[in-house]
Amino acid sequence: MDIESRIEELLSRMTLQEKIGQLNQVKAPLKADEAVFEQIRQGKIGSFIMATTAHAGNDDTAITENLLINKMQKIAVEESRLGIPIIYGRDVIHGHRTVYPVPLASAASFNPELVEKCYRNIAREATADGVNWTFSPMLDLSRDPRWGRIIEGPGEDPYVGATMAEACVKGFQGDDISNKDSLVACAKHYIGYGASEGGRDYHRTEISDYNLYNYYLPAFRAAVNAGVGTVMSSFNDISGQPVTSGKKYLTDILRGKLGFEGFVVSDWDAVCQLKKQGVAENDADCAELAINAGLDMNMTDKVYINNLEQLVIEGKVSEETINTAVRRVLKIKLQKGLFEKPYCDAPEIDRTEHLKDARAIAEESMVLLKNDGVLPLSKNSKVALVGPFARERRALLGSWTLDGKAEETPNFAEAMKAVIGNNMLLSDDNIAVLDNSIARAVKADVVVLALGESEKVTGEAYSVSDISLPKNQVELIHRYKALGKKVVGVFFCGRPMAMEGVAEYLDAILYAWHAGSETANAACNILFGDVVPSGKTAVTFPKRTGHIPMYYNVTSSGRKVDCYYGENPQNCYVDSYPTPAFPFGFGLSYTEFEYGEIVSRTNEITLSDLKNGKSFNFTVSVKNTGDYDGKETVQLYIRDKIASVMRPLRELKAFEKRLINKGDTETFSFQLGYDKLGFYTENGDYTVEKGEFEIYIGENCLTTNKTTVEII
Ligand code: NOJ
């Protein structure tokens, strides 16, 4: 029987209560609990979330043991009336036991193939622990690094977001979602959560439909196109409409415009929060609003299981609405193969390759922001290692690390020692004993400062009002600089930190991020030249907090103050220059790349030819003129000069990362067709307009390497 027939056959045998049970997700117990077993028997639990708190990203949360997972599954399969298996979900965000960089960092790798490979590894490890479904990838576009959750997403650009969305979904779900080592993915948080006002978590958002379609939705569209099984609705409201009860978002756009066919799960307790949000009086109202909006599964607050039956009796919710939601849930369970293979046989996982991949992606994610010739360091030089992150382990894993282990994570001092042995002079990390540290540093040829932020100031409910480096770290920089030594700053951070008053005092800056299990080894490989840095920023680094929001794909001001691009920044603020400290797409290498002029095969195409599949073709040659083999990410941006609505000054439309050996020249080719030259109107219709387009191909969004083409 095909899946559709199996769904209908099952549905025809289900009571209303059993149907509602499928829409109920509850917290998984950590030990045997007869009351929970009984609910499973009665068909009242469709899914377990293996988490103990709402924002487990920064809380330790144990995983339900395999024996118990299988025991409860057995009750569902053998002792419930219809034998429908449970789907087990967990926040497996950027790693399981092996941890990869926080997603904002892995986006900086500009290497979707490697991201996909790593997310495949994650799926292998998590499924071996009984997880069927992950609440990842997080795809919230964000322009506000104060927001703690910016680290969980792909940054400020819709194209990078879409590329990473596809890579993560393919990695998690694999070629065949029914394989035992495939995880059902969940694109979240749909939609607009990244626009939380002031970067304050859980706050309201204000997003026009035009911005929604062009900036916030593309990553979700890409996830849907890649076959993502589920979507999580977001906590926020958009202009007063909570997404949890927003039919416009959950049904009209998600299903109507994006064509999503899986099921939607709420965020944690989000359905009953409709009361606090002021659109529902009681739990029954909450359930009615959410299910009628198109929200299929209710996470943790039990509002569906407690109210839907009565709502159907009262005629406020139709049984057909319930059936639709149940069909979607059953479909994913069937596609996942849970009916045939409900149990986890806990295979032993050899993590050797996973750790290698974790190191590779950490290396590719790290961004060399500054280098006044001091890097790479010689392994023979004496290096004073100083700073609060020299011995730190947990922070390197980043927020939303539930199963990675700090004690298995090498710290920076250990990693450096392994490379240069006694040439490393490890200083005390406490500013109070700075005298001792300075004494050591005097003997050193170079000082490496291990700086950064704790994972506890990133992630859910951990936003900050100031993205500056803590004062004691700034003081550390100043005092070491005063020694007259070369000072290198290695930043272990989740978000971009403000660099004003910091960058000027450092001779080199390696932005190492919270890059997972292999952070420290990867950073050392780059510092000592075993690896040539190749990361590029997927988010703008503002100079100071007051410059937020600052993002590259901004529209033009009518008054000659496009400060991002250096146009009269003095007229934007009287007290500072709001140019980026480091722009989007920026990252240095140890080698040099020289870009040739853009060659365009054709300069004009008619709109109808474009619609029929013709495309513009551009090539550019890039020569490695430096002393190292190195990878370069060549980026293509467009500007639609005159359109019916203002279009951004630059929009990334393509990139390619490739190794170029020293002395070699490589040719990069890009095609721009109908799908890349248009935009969405506020109705969500895609349109391409005639006129001139500027095409930029270069090393970051500020490149001036330009040509012009026209759609006639
Ligand atoms: C709340 C978070 O917003 C969401 O990202 C997460 O998946 C759920 N909690 C479950 O832990």
C-beta 135 within 6 A of ligand 1:
yes
pLDDT of residue 64: 84
Task: Give per-residue burial for 577-592: e unless 16+ CB within 10 Å, then b.
Answer: ebbbbbbbbbbbbbbe
pLDDT of residue 430: 54
C-beta 90 within 6 A of ligand 1:
no
Residue 168 CA, distance from chain mean position: 9
In angstroms, what CA-CA distances link 277 with 242, 243, 253, 412? 7, 11, 22, 45
Task: Considering the candidates 91, 129, 144, 267, report the single residue annotated as catalytic.
Answer: 267
140 is catalytic: no
Q: What is the 3-state secondary structure (H, E, C) of 437-484?
A: HHHHHHHCCEEEEEEECCHHHCCCCCCCCCCCCCHHHHHHHHHHHCCC
pTM exceeds 0.75 for this model: yes
Distance 198 CA to ligand 1 centre (A): 20
C-beta 492 within 6 A of ligand 1:
no
Distance 119 CA to ligand 1 centre (A): 19
Residue 249 has pLDDT above 90, yes or no: yes
| Pick from 274-278, 309-313, 436-440, 684-688: least confident | 436-440
- Sorting pLDDT into bands at 50, 70 and 90, what band is 500? very high
C-beta 400 within 6 A of ligand 1:
no
- Sorting pLDDT into bands at 50, 70 and 90, what band is 435? low
Q: Whose CA is nearest to atom 8 of ligand 1?
A: 268
The chain-wide mean pLDDT, for the chain, equals 96
Angular region, 651: left φ>0, alpha ψ -120 to 50, beta rest: beta
pLDDT in tens, 172-224: 999 999 999 999 999 999 999 999 999 999 999 999 999 999 999 999 999 99
Q: How many CB atoms lie within 10 A of CB 243?
A: 25
Q: What is the 3-state secondary structure (H, E, C) of 127-143?
A: HHCCCCEECCCECCCCC
Distance in angstroms (rounded) separating the CA atoms of residues 205 and 198: 10
Distance 268 CA to ligand 1 centre (A): 6
Q: Which atom of ligand 1 is nearest to the CA of 53?
A: 11
Distance 488 CA to ligand 1 centre (A): 37
CB 396 within 8 A of CB 102: no
Residue 374 CA, distance from chain mean position: 32
C-beta 51 within 6 A of ligand 1:
yes
Q: Which atom of ligand 1 is nearest to the CA of 234?
A: 3
Tokens standing for residue 152: 């969980």
Question: Which residue has better confidence, 706 or 63?
Answer: 706
Q: Which atom of ligand 1 is nearest to the CA of 51?
A: 11
Distance 269 CA to ligand 1 centre (A): 10
Mutate to test the pocket of ligand 1, among 267, 298, 400, 463 (most ligand atoms within 8 A of CB): 267
pLDDT in tens, 220-243: 999 999 999 999 999 999 999 999
C-beta 166 within 6 A of ligand 1:
no
DSSP for 551-604 reads -SSPBPPTTS--GGGTS-GGGT-SS-----SB-TT--B-SS-EEE---EES-SE
**ω before 549 within 30° of 0 (cis)?**
yes
Q: Residue 26: what residue type?
A: V
Distance 194 CA to ligand 1 centre (A): 14
Residue 434 has pLDDT above 70, yes or no: no
